[in-house]
Structure 1
Amino acid sequence: MESSVRSGSAKFKQVRHFTAVALLALGLGACAAAARRPAPQATATPQPLARLVVATPDADHDAMAQLMAGEMALNHSDLKAASEHYGKAMALSGDPKVAERAAGLAIAIHDSAAAQRALDRWQVLGAKPAEMAKARAELALDHGDADAARQQLELLTASGAKDAWRQFGRVLVGARDQAQAGRLLEALATPQRLPGDAQAWLAMSELGDKFGRHGYAVRIADAAVQRFKSAETYVWAAQMKFTDGDRDGARALLQKALARQPKNARLRLAYAGMLSEAGDYAGASRLLERGPQDAETYALRAGLAAHNKDGKALAALYRNLQNASPEVREKSAYLLGQLAEMQHRDAEALGWYGQVGDSDPHAFDADLRSAVILHTQGKLAQSHRLLEQLQMDSLDQPAQLRQAWQADAELYLAEQQYAKAQTAFSRALQVMPNDPGLLYGRGLAYADGGLIDLAVKDFQQLLKIKPGDVDASNALGYTLADANRDLPTAERLIGAARAAKPNDPAVADSWGWLQYRLGHLEEAAQTLRGAWAARQDADVGVHLGEVLWKLGRRQDARKVFDDVRKLEPNSRSLQETLKRLQP
């Protein structure tokens, strides 16, 4: 109705505009003619319709005008105004649908008098008994009248209407008092009254669980199994048992379901999901390997293999998925890209990501991963251009916009273009102020760019948002130690981080560098050597090399510096350290 009303209004405006212009043109033409020639002597013959006046009803007596006004009010979410307009339209129209809409709107705004008038009008215009019972039940529940609601719901479910039980469920879901709705559900949706349709039984069981009546939900689920013995009833009853902690019972029911429909991919996925939730990843994988394979099956198998860090299984999945049907490959383009990346096949990953369609839910993620791969390949400008395009495309999606800015900033940080990284992080923080990840990233960019005061400010703000956060404590402590300022505070912060993560190489590096600043060279060397052995990170190696150099172990220091150079040939930290140690 809305589109037709709008198009009618548009046409009316066009006709009115054309008529006004035409009359104006004729008037101007007449004036010009009058200026050029004398008036005719003969009088023109009057036309039969010249003095005909067409009566146009005012808005209050025009059903179409009221419907248009009602729809416009709905577009502005003004239910009260919409209800008033539909109430007027109902009185002027003989269409039962208008009265039905008027009743629904009146109930929605809790206007009992208007709702009753609309229901009476609807009944006069020929409402079906099931429809009327549903609406009267809604009105009774809106009043909190459980007895009247029950009477109407009994009429609805006994009406024989095809979707009576679906409408029954909708009435209860929309009730203001969910506890009252739950009691009515349990009283009326009994095994004795429910129809011979398994879907209705499952829907009522699920509704009971939603209302917090788990015992009722289980009873209906078990009764559905006994009556129908279908795969879908087994699955739902299994979910009930799994929720109650009866995993063996759930597994037995799912096995029965699979026996009924051994090729049902959705069923196997549900069973595998339940097994994986129970920690039986191997069992879930074996189950999914059997039977037909679709995009969802491959995705869950890949997730299980990744969880188990099973590289062979991931490689096999990649091969199998490449040979799958075109439809499955098309739906799995993003997964294929991920699998290719896991095997360091970056060029292939880019190709798969490029095949992810714009309507695919992973389209944004595919472009984001493509930007990262391009950066890894040294195509820095292309990478940043892609991220800039993502930012433009995501202006109305704050979460995605944040991701695009953060990725751009982190790549600039990796390039040691600290000013650009700071700018990108700051833009993202405008979209999501006080976001912990963004504050942490900008703090690192400030610190690496030598803007220590700003870095300290960001890390302090982060600790206000997340008091005691280990990474923030370590970052602030390291920043202070590296700048050789407020070392007692640095010691307290890094000490707390070290107690929380005693085996973390990054924390060990911070502690070792702090000991160097404090003049404890031997302890610094021992701690940094452990961190370097745990993780070959360029900054850790540079720190260790400098401490060894200060201890006079210059041959050992040079070896560490050589290893850092192999690891990261363009390390700015190494270059600056060597200039300082070897002026």
Structure 2
Amino acid sequence: MTVATPDPDHDLLAQLLAGELALSRADLKVASQAYGTAMMLSTDPEVAGKSTALAIAIHDPDAAGRAIDRWQALGASKAQLAQARAELAVEQGHTDEARRQLSLLLSSGDKDAWRMFGRVLIGSRDAALASSLLESLATPDHLPPDPKAWLAMSELGEQLSRHAYAEQVADGAMKRFGTAETYAWAAQLKLDNGDRSGGLSLLRQAQVKDPNNIGLRLTYASLLGQSGQYAQASHLLEKGPQNAQTYAMRAALAANAKDNKTLEQVYQQLSGAPADVRSASAYLLGQLAEVLDRKEEALKWYDQVPDDDDHAFDADLRSAILLQGLGRSAEAHQQLAEMQTDYLDQPAQLRRAYEVDADLYLREKRYAEATNAFTHALQVVPDDPDLLYGRGLAYAEIGKIDLAVADFRRLLQIKPDDVDASNALGFTLADAGRDLPEAEKLIAAARAAKPNDPSIADSWGWLQYRLGHLNEATQILRGAWQSGKDADVGVHLGEVLWKQGQHEQAQQVFDQVRQMDPGNVSLQETLKRLEP
């Protein structure tokens, strides 16, 4: 048996498939051609409607006209035809025809007429024409008794930069319907146009009309918070329904106000919230627990942050830092090692995981491990200034002065005006007793930039000691010690006092350092030199 198959130009299915394939490639011209053929083979009005939309989209008025006629023949509604013809007229810049068709659309009785009207105008390439049609047809006298339509037209006016029209319609909607939504939109317009007082007033009225509307409460509270009215904003949010967003803003407001009592209250309420809210707020709960010095609880909350949460990486980092602070250093570094594997293909996170690992080693005075972690991080982000600085400090601590100097010099090549790098390089050279003239220039430059910085004063005082200016060194170091009571500054001051023969004063300073930091390595090494 021989089955006759139509050629492609007469095969409806083939044309529809060709059109859809072209659309998947975003090739609108080919899609329009395929649908133009398909609509003549089909009796489905939807095919003609799609052909119409494609012809208008590629700016082909002849094809669009044919498609509209075919669509009409297949039974398109009055509203559909008026919308299509209005789109075509707007596309061609035919103002009178566009106005006539839009009027027909609005008088068609279709329940979606105003939504279709808005779609015609928002899709126009001629904003001036669209604005003119909007203001002449969508007047308060002609808008339907539906607040959604009024708000949609006002928003469309705002998008078309017709601010006066948008406000006129918004005010009319507010007076006619008096709903919370109309007040909220009118408030938004005032805020956008710089009328903060008027916007806040309307938002307050909107919130009164719908006190359980979480979106309104959040918006109003946010604006109050921006004005520094933390207590009022907090009071507003603590009343009514709660969700993850209200808890988060309440916590932020309390933190800005340094109100630990309210933070405790938010923490307790959020801890007892429904499971979905707790899950969405696990990271916030961890943060609150940390602020309230509940480190073990913070660890538990961070462990509950879902893997797909935006804060999952930060939660793991905070957990590692907490573990180290709780004396569980091995667990902290193990956690970071796992993160370094998990985020191997995400450079920003990988760099951060290595950096935190290095910082924890620095706190533990495990400087060799710190240099290794910084080196791994620098392989991910070469010449990163912060990483070079950290590794330089670690190298200096283990006596690898040449490597420390190399890192600081490289950092200053990248950021010539970096004050901390200048100070670090100057101190490292001074401490090693080498290139003292260069050290003096570097530390002097840092001192000029930050004259009240105790760490820079310490470097300058130590340099004076290396230069043999003991009296000047004592004066500078004493001032730095009194302003900050830093252990390393105290060790330097004590050594200078000892060299001046003021052993009793030196011992007093050493005793204070020992009380502050019983395991201070610098103090131990200094005492061995001074009291062999």
For 1:235, which of 167, 184, 201 is the aligned residue? 184
Deviation of residue 275 (structure 1)?
1.0
Deviation of residue 120 (structure 1)?
4.1
Q: Deviations over 1:200-233 (max 9, x none)?
A: 3223333333333333332222222111111122
For 1:315, which of 258, 264, 268 is the aligned residue? 264
2:277 alignment partner in structure 1: 328
Structure 2 CA distance for aligned equivalents of residues 135 and 527 of structure 1: 83
Q: Deviations over 1:448-487 (max 9, x none)?
A: 3233223332343245xxxx6xxx3333343244334534
For 2:424, which of 459, 478, 490 is the aligned residue? 478
Is the CA contact 2:494–2:506 (under 8 Å) kept in the aligned structure 1?
yes
Kindly report which structure 2 residues correspond to 1:487-502, keeping only aligned pairs within 5 A, or say none: 487=439, 489-491=441-443, 493-495=445-447, 497-498=449-450
| 2:177 partner amino acid | F
Deviation of residue 273 (structure 1)?
1.3
Is the CA contact 2:405–2:428 (under 8 Å) kept in the aligned structure 1?
no
Structure 1 CA distance for aligned equivalents of residues 464 and 103 of structure 2: 79
Deviation of residue 303 (structure 1)?
0.3
Structure 1 gap segments, 5+ residues each: 1-51
Deviation of residue 269 (structure 1)?
2.0
Structure 2 gap segments, 5+ residues each: 396-402
Is the CA contact 2:39–2:48 (under 8 Å) kept in the aligned structure 1?
yes
Is the CA contact 1:440–1:459 (under 8 Å) kept in the aligned structure 2?
no
Deviation of residue 341 (structure 1)?
0.8
**Distance 1:321-1:93 versus aligned 2 partners, 3 A rule:** same
Structure 1 CA distance for aligned equivalents of residues 503 and 5 of structure 2: 102
- Corresponding position: 1:453 with 2:406: yes
| 1:368 partner amino acid | L
**Distance 1:54-1:455 versus aligned 2 partners, 3 A rule:** farther
Q: Secondary structure at the match of 1:357?
A: coil
Structure 2 CA distance for aligned equivalents of residues 180 and 297 of structure 1: 43
**Distance 1:115-1:330 versus aligned 2 partners, 3 A rule:** same
- Corresponding position: 1:191 with 2:191: no
For 2:206, which of 257, 273, 279 is the aligned residue? 257
Task: Calculate the TM-score normalised by the size of structure 2.
Answer: 0.81
Kindly report which structure 2 residues correspond to 1:6-25, keeping only aligned pairs within 5 A, or say none: none
**Distance 1:418-1:199 versus aligned 2 partners, 3 A rule:** same
Is the CA contact 2:481–2:489 (under 8 Å) kept in the aligned structure 1?
yes
| 1:478 partner amino acid | A
- Corresponding position: 1:305 with 2:254: yes
Structure 1 CA distance for aligned equivalents of residues 315 and 142 of structure 2: 51
Kindly report which structure 2 residues correspond to 1:45-56, keeping only aligned pairs within 5 A, or say none: 52-56=1-5
Kindly report which structure 2 residues correspond to 1:165-176, keeping only aligned pairs within 5 A, or say none: 165-176=114-125
Structure 1 CA distance for aligned equivalents of residues 180 and 250 of structure 2: 23
Q: Deviations over 1:162-190 (max 9, x none)?
A: 33333443444443344544444333332
Structure 2 CA distance for aligned equivalents of residues 253 and 389 of structure 1: 52
Is the CA contact 2:333–2:357 (under 8 Å) kept in the aligned structure 1?
yes
Larger deviation, residues 282-291 vs 96-105: 96-105
Q: Secondary structure at the match of 1:451?
A: helix
Structure 2 CA distance for aligned equivalents of residues 83 and 576 of structure 1: 83
1:422 alignment partner in structure 2: 374
2:400 alignment partner in structure 1: none
2:229 alignment partner in structure 1: 280
Q: Secondary structure at the match of 1:160?
A: coil
Deviation of residue 131 (structure 1)?
3.4
| 1:338 partner amino acid | Q
Q: Secondary structure at the match of 2:248?
A: helix
Is the CA contact 1:298–1:321 (under 8 Å) kept in the aligned structure 2?
yes
1:11 alignment partner in structure 2: none
1:374 alignment partner in structure 2: 323
Task: Calculate the TM-score normalised by the size of structure 1.
Answer: 0.75
**Distance 1:368-1:122 versus aligned 2 partners, 3 A rule:** farther
Kindly report which structure 2 residues correspond to 1:341-490, keeping only aligned pairs within 5 A, or say none: 341-390=290-339, 400=349, 403-414=352-363, 415-416=366-367, 417-429=369-381, 438-449=384-395, 450-462=403-415, 472-484=418-430, 485=435, 486-487=438-439, 489-490=441-442
Deviation of residue 306 (structure 1)?
0.5
Structure 1 CA distance for aligned equivalents of residues 525 and 6 of structure 2: 87
2:398 alignment partner in structure 1: none
Is the CA contact 1:281–1:304 (under 8 Å) kept in the aligned structure 2?
yes
Q: Secondary structure at the match of 2:144?
A: coil
1:29 alignment partner in structure 2: none
Larger deviation, residues 537-546 vs 421-430: 537-546
Q: Secondary structure at the match of 1:233?
A: helix
Is the CA contact 1:408–1:424 (under 8 Å) kept in the aligned structure 2?
no
Deviation of residue 340 (structure 1)?
0.2
Is the CA contact 1:413–1:445 (under 8 Å) kept in the aligned structure 2?
no
Structure 2 CA distance for aligned equivalents of residues 511 and 157 of structure 1: 81
**Distance 1:313-1:123 versus aligned 2 partners, 3 A rule:** same
2:399 alignment partner in structure 1: none
| 1:202 partner amino acid | L
Is the CA contact 1:321–1:329 (under 8 Å) kept in the aligned structure 2?
yes
Kindly report which structure 2 residues correspond to 1:141-152, keeping only aligned pairs within 5 A, or say none: 141-152=90-101
Q: Deviations over 1:128-180 (max 9, x none)?
A: 33334444444444445554444444444443333333344344444334454
Larger deviation, residues 344-353 vs 452-461: 452-461
| 2:446 partner amino acid | I
Structure 2 CA distance for aligned equivalents of residues 110 and 543 of structure 1: 80
Structure 2 CA distance for aligned equivalents of residues 543 and 123 of structure 1: 93
Question: How large is the RMSD of aligned CA atoms in angstroms?
Answer: 3.7
1:160 alignment partner in structure 2: 109
- Corresponding position: 1:296 with 2:296: no
Is the CA contact 1:482–1:514 (under 8 Å) kept in the aligned structure 2?
no
Deviation of residue 60 (structure 1)?
5.3
Deviation of residue 89 (structure 1)?
4.3
Identity among equivalent positions (%) equals 54
Q: Secondary structure at the match of 1:191?
A: coil
Structure 2 CA distance for aligned equivalents of residues 59 and 577 of structure 1: 93
**Distance 1:99-1:487 versus aligned 2 partners, 3 A rule:** farther
Q: Secondary structure at the match of 1:483?
A: helix
Q: Secondary structure at the match of 2:125?
A: coil
| 2:419 partner amino acid | S
Larger deviation, residues 222-231 vs 278-287: 278-287
Q: Secondary structure at the match of 2:381?
A: helix
Is the CA contact 1:129–1:159 (under 8 Å) kept in the aligned structure 2?
yes
